[in-house]
Amino acid sequence: IVSDVIDLTGDDKDDLQRAIALSLEESNRAFRETVLEASIAENKASLKRTHTEVWSDSPNPHDRKRQENCHVGLKNVGNTCWFSAVIQSLFNLLEFQRLVLHYPPPARMQDLPRNQKEHRNLPFMQELRCLFSLLVGSKRKYVDPSRAVEILKDAFKSSESQQQDVSEFTHKLLDWLEDAFQIKPKNPMVDLFYGRFLAVGVLEGKKFENTEMFGQYPLQVNGFKDLHECLEAAMIEGEIESVHSAENSAKSGQEHWFTELPPVLTFELSRFEFNQTLGRPEKIHNKLEFPSMLYMDRYMDRNRDITRIKREEIRRLKEHLTVLQQRLERYLSYGSGPKRFPLADVLQFAMEFASSKPVCTSPVEDIDTTAPPVFLCMDYSTGEQPDASVPPEGSGSGPQAQQQQQQQQPQRVSIHKPFTQSRVPPDLPMHPAPRHITEEELRVLEGCLHRWRSEVENDTGDLQASISRIHRTIELMYSDKSMMQVPYRLHAVLVHEGQANAGHYWAYIFDPHQQRWMKYNDISVTKSSWEELVRDSFGGYRNASAYCLMYIDDKKPFLIEGNLIFIFRSVVADLWCDWHADWPMRVLEAMMTPNMQGVIMAIGKSRSVYDKCGPEAAFFKAMKVEYTRLLRFAQEDTPPERDYRLHHVIVYFIHNQVPKKIVERTLLMQFADRNLGFDERYEKQFACSHYFIFNCTLSFKNDLMLLLLAQMWHQDYRKFRDTTVFLLIGLELFLKKSYVESLMYLIYAYQYNKELLAKGPYRGHDEELIAHYRRECLLKVNEHAAALFETGEETEVNTGLSIMNELVVACIPLLLVDEMEENDMVAVEDMRNRWCSYLGQEMEPNLQEKLTDFLPKLLDCSTEIRSFHDPPKLPSYSTLELCERYGRVMTSLTLSRTPADGR
């Protein structure tokens, strides 16, 4: 077993050869698997999967080839989507990659496994290392994890045709990893995934405190709307009031307080429960929201006292909120019957009824509606219908005559005429309206109803405003800086779609280099978005929801970033397999630049030269290929969002016609020094004279003038990058409408850029663009400060004047110093006119006094540059991140300034 372990992290050439052989073996199986896997997929019909398209193989081998810069998927080898989701989430933790790929196998006989657990750990770690190596260096778009799954079969409870318990698998996986790293004095897996909490409580009147360790922290979902509510419920159990009360009560309860959080904080969401009535498990599809940035301060033991105070305040606010909502409900659902309506609408309807005028269906006013209906009769002897209005001949008008008339008339049959007999009485109004109401009554009633409706609307508005304020107060309860010191960023979301006994798993994982979410769905790895993640993970959509959340400590960038030399080894090991000298490996290890593809391409093209002319000729051939590629970039006419000067210092040098020797030495440093990449660390070290001299040839050391010139150029490039970062952050804040925060970044971007452009037209960015947004930002800040002044509130007025004195007044000389810029002059006049317009307005004496003190400063025509605050501290961006963010913000500016019709 030991002999099969391949150590990709050491310098052993045999291990490197065997790793390459393993990669070749993987490639050779591709064609055979093309035919076999199609039949395997069909045999999995019993799995009843609805997502067969995400893991079925294409019969075309070219479709199975890995694309450039693409992540590698994992093949589903029989209902193992849960395995892919968990492994991909862990693999994309760079620190976890390091631990697995650097796992040290036993090297001596006495270190061989002594018990069953160690016999299991060794092949398990061997296969996991192999799987991770393939995920890094495979040339296929996905790899087959069958061997690792086979070794992990002891962790499975159910048979292959049933849905696996992914939570149990994750627990078992972490247990195995913890066991595998017991060989080290301090277990790195424990440090990475395990934390501690303090259980403080009362049991039957007696207080207790216990410290416990946790890995995946379980959270109940049912009955909660967001992650914080779940955490609050998990941290408090039972009658917790007695925990911190002075009384020695017999009540029991406990609180949990985290004393130590792990770098990787995992929450297990309990979305499955057992239905006692039906006798089967069921999935909870309720919606549960969770943030991309989670602050854990409120759950830390060191914040116990302040959190308890805030929880009590929130409890009182929620009680008051319940009362207000009940009162509001009485206004919005008024009535005593089953149907209820808003009270304001009821009063409005009553007012409309009272003011309505009746409109009759007929102009006839005096119709006797009490007269009996007229029955029309037919004389069947003649077939004629007599006129009911004409009495028979010889008839009288007395009772006797009427009786005689009835005896003489033939038998009559009444004829039913629906339209005539069922039509609306002629005096009924067309719409509801009062029958009798005087003008005085109407005037009084309308006045009352109008007043009552206004009162109801005001009361309703006040209640709604109070409810909104309480909601906002609760939301901001933990937003002060003291409670935002423990940030955790969402790294991965593991999603389950389906029911309790069947379904499909996939993962959303954040890629920090691309600054976007990726969806890992078996062999399919695609770009995604936060919106798609929310749709599939919060719940309530298509039976899909998150069952596991993985957060990482945002203050520990080593978790997802770092110098992964072994990754570069595995990617290009086949290019160096026949190189036996030590220096090529140093060159391989030196590939720290984000633009690694160019270096790899250069090495690949130099391999044939090495075979013929030796390593030295091959090395300079690789340098030549790389220089040719960068020269092509420098000659391209690209838009601002694709500024290749940011990608590589050599492109910046070519643009500015830097001496050839400096370009050569800079490129040499990229290839020959393992500690240098074209990032901040590189620029600082290259600017150091003794470091530069040490790495140069003897003839170059003697040329001190050239040395000083090289330092100057690298300092300029550092200033160019700083200018870019100032501009980038300033524009990002400007687009977010954070104008006060944006202004200082844009001011320093303009000043730095102006100094660069004074030395040459290609040393900085477009001056007009920076000037435009500096000017627009100043106008926005001025408008914001004026709006604060207009409120008349003491605090607001002081804030507005402080902004004007510290920012706007201090920046105006910068706009006046260059009298050729007409737009800046117009902007200054607009800002001054805005404040001068207050001189003719009535205002409080204290405001008038403050305005009088302020205006002379604003109207000062001096162009003397006053001292500013120190420049904002710039974050450290990798070249890749800087280029991507700069490209995005420049694209956003281009789109925002494009007319709506697209012209």
Label each residue of 503-568 as H, E or C.
EEEEEEEEECCCCEEEEEECCEEEECCHHHHHHHHCCCECCEEEEEEEEEECCCHHHCCCCCHHHH
Residues 737 and 886 in one domain: yes
Exposure letters 701-736 (e unless 16+ CB within 10 A, then b): eeeeebbeebbebbebbbbbbbbbbbbbbbbbbbee
Q: How many domains does the chain have?
A: 2
Choosing from 71, 81, 491, 696, the catalytic residue is 81
585 lies in some domain = no
Same domain, 834 and 754: yes
Let me know: does 262 contact 96? Beta carbons within 8 Å: no
DSSP 293-345: EEE-GGGBGGGHHHHHHHHHHHHHHHHHHHHHHHHHHHHHSB-SSS--B-HHH
Q: What is the pLDDT of residue 704?
A: 61
Q: What is the mean pLDDT of residues 658-684?
A: 60
Are 728 and 638 in the same domain? no
Q: Helices 81-91 and 116-137 sit at what angle, rounded to 10 degrees?
A: 80
Residues 683 and 758 in one domain: no
Instruction: Give the residue with greater pLDDT, 349 vs 700.
Output: 349
Among candidate residues 256, 491, 504, 648, the one labeled active-site is 504
Q: Which domain holds residue 605?
A: 593-700
Q: What are 462-489's pLDDT values in tens digits?
A: 999 999 999 999 989 998 888 999 999 9
Look up 496 and say whether it is catalytic: yes
Domain co-membership, 847 together with 783: yes
526 forms beta bridges with: 519
Q: Does the structure show a pLDDT above 50 at 369? A: no
Q: Is residue 19 part of a domain?
A: no
> 714-756: per-residue pLDDT in tens?
888 889 999 999 999 999 999 999 999 999 999 999 999 999 9
- Distances in Å between the Cα of 142 and the Cα atoms of 48, 52, 522, 541 are 23, 15, 8, 29
Q: Residue 267: is it exposed, middle or buried by C-beta count within 10 angstroms (0-12/13-18/19+)?
A: buried
Rounded to 5°, angle at Cα 218 from 214 and 222: 165
Is 106 within a domain?
A: no
Instruction: Based on the fold, state whether residues 875 and 727 are members of the same structural domain.
Output: yes
| pLDDT tens, residue by residue, 856-891 | 888 887 766 666 667 888 888 888 888 888 988 998
Q: Tell me: do 875 and 801 sit in the same domain.
A: yes
Stated as kind and residue range, the H or E segment containing 54 is: none
Whether 81 sits among the annotated catalytic residues: the reply is: yes
Last residue of a domain, one of 646, 666, 700: 700
- End residue of a domain, out of 700, 728, 757: 700
Residue 33 belongs to a domain:
no
Domain boundary among the residues 638, 671, 700 is at 700
Task: Say if 211 falls within a structural domain.
Answer: no
**What digits encode the pLDDT tens for the residues 547-569?**
899 999 998 887 776 544 444 34
Asked whether residue 572 is domain-assigned, the answer is no
**663 in a domain, yes or no?**
yes
> Do 728 and 797 share a domain, yes or no?
yes
CA distance 792 to 27: 75
Which residue has better confidence, 322 or 32? 322
Q: Give the model's pLDDT for residue 397.
A: 52
812 & 696 share domain: no
Residues 680 and 638 in one domain: yes
Catalytic residue among 496, 647, 648, 784: 496
Residues 622 and 763 in one domain: no
N- to C-terminal Cα separation, the chain? 69
Contacts of 54 (CB under 8 A, 6+ apart): 76, 521, 522, 523, 524
Residue 352 falls inside a structural domain: no
How much is the pLDDT for 602?
A: 53
Please indicate whether residue 548 is annotated as part of the active site: no
Label residue 594 by pLDDT band (50, 70, 90).
very low
Q: Which residues contact 627 (CB under 8 A, 6 or more apart)?
A: 650, 663, 667
- 724 lies in the same domain as 617: no
